[in-house]
Amino acid sequence: MNWRTINIDLLDPESSANFPTATLSPAVSPVSAAEVQNLASQIKQLLRGGDSEGALRGALENPPYGGDAAAKEVHLATVVEILQSIKQSEMSPLLSRIYSSEGGVEALDVLMKYLYKGMSHSSRPSSASARSMSPQTTGFSQIQQRGGGEGGGQAMSVLLSWHEKLVEIAGPGSIVRVMSDRRTV
């Protein structure tokens, strides 16, 4: 018998080889894209009515964990739209009210997930903007489209401002909980 070929992990009762790793992920119910679209329209109605806190709470309390990629993109766009509509002076009081309410820690953790997802999406150049690259005389290429408007830079600035305020209110534990959570938004 060759002792070097024995898989000792199979002998350890605490080893991941002795239990299914699928049990590490919490069960999530499937969500259709139509349900997410319906929720997004209700949230936008709240936003148009001037209830930005209610819109944000509604978006954070109903994340589409079980949705497909399209449903998650629709919800991300809704959350980013809400965040962009709230003034910077209203951020800290709003986050404090959510944090002190029942389920507030979980809601702010969901917000942190959306901030990271939004940052990851706005940092990648899209295929449309990659096709419209204009060479510069300096030898560099301009990836962003010309003409200003709400581009990725402004959205990134808003997301970073929210991240700063969220870490002030919820603390760095929120970052750790988001990084270790297997449910994705």
pLDDT at 33: 92
In angstroms, the CA 59 to CA 2 distance is: 58
In angstroms, the CA 76 to CA 41 distance is: 13
Q: Is 89 helix (H, G, I), strand (E, B) or coil?
A: helix
pLDDT at 124: 59
Do the Cβ atoms of 76 and 84 come closer than 8 Å? no
Task: Give pLDDT tens digits for 9-34.
Answer: 777 877 777 777 777 778 888 999 99
In angstroms, the CA 22 to CA 45 distance is: 38
Does pTM top 0.85 for this prediction?
Answer: no
In angstroms, the CA 74 to CA 62 distance is: 13
Spans of the chain below 70 pLDDT = 123-152
pLDDT at 67: 93
